[in-house]
Chain A
Amino acid sequence: DAKTTQPNSMESNEEEPVHLPCNHSTISGTDYIHWYRQLPSQGPEYVIHGLTSNVNNRMASLAIAEDRKSSTLILHRATLRDAAVYYCIPRGAGSYQLTFGKGTKLSVIP
């Protein structure tokens, strides 16, 4: 599995954009980049995923670097409900499992 590096924690003010970075320099060419989050006392929740192009959905945007060694999850307007641990997870053909790291704990300040 590709290794990932994420900041341990980040803070954002409510209603401001948040950019959550992830380095995955050992990612293989066919690995998708998935993002999940875990709200307090809940199960992980899918956020978004992509391969090469930038992706948008109703929850977030995913910006993938051209060399695919890093990606950034963008929450356009952080709400208090977005306070969670965010995990960047490369997902490739070698394994069916999701490998969770420590993630980034996002705090949202009202």
Chain B
Amino acid sequence: EPEVTQTPSHQVTQMGQEVILRCVPISNHLYFYWYRQILGQKVEFLVSFYNNEISEKSEIFDDQFSVERPDGSNFTLKIRSTKLEDSAMYFCASSEQAGAAFMNTEAFFGQGTRLTVV
């Protein structure tokens, strides 16, 4: 069964360092997302990406964050200068449909990258 894969599974970084979290969405999917979940809290939306541009982003997704699809298969989330409060599980997701059909389509999530900022 096709799946979304994320690497690394766990990343430890020093405060102020840049990190790149990587995701390989399912190959024929058109819509890509990043979510995060701080320990013990809700899953929060960060950003959605379609047709090589951001289609929607939350207030959390400030100038420290960026996303890219560099080579047609990978989808990356970059945090420019990490803060302690960026420590969380980061989930990548993808879905097949775009446009009006997205409401009738499921999203597939990866297993997440646990980011620890020290």
Contacts and interface: CB of A to CB of B under 8 A. Distances in A.
A42 B31 CA distance: 21
Contact of B104 (A49, A95, A97, A98): A49
Contact of B106 (A31, A34, A100): A34
Interface string B76-94: 0000000000000001010
A44 B43 contact: yes
Interface residue range, chain B: 20 to 34
Is the contact region of chain A dominated by helix, strand, or loop, or is it mixed?
Answer: loop
Interface in A46-100: 46, 49, 51, 87, 91-93, 95-100
B102 A43 contact: no
A19 B95 CA distance: 28
Interface centre among A30, A32, A96, A99 (most CB of B within 10 A): A96
B14 to A, nearest CB: 25
Nearest to B111: A43
Interface string B35-78: 10000001111001010000110100000000000000000000
Contacts of A96: 31, 33, 48, 50, 55-56, 102
Contacts of B108: 46
Contacts of B50: 96
A31 B102 CA distance: 11
Contacts of A30: 103
B87 to A, nearest CB: 16
A99 B45 contact: yes
A100 to B, nearest CB: 4
B12 interface: no
14 contacts: A30-B103, A31-B103, A43-B4, A44-B35, A45-B109, A93-B103, A96-B31, A96-B55, A96-B102, A97-B48, A97-B56, A98-B33, A98-B107, A101-B42
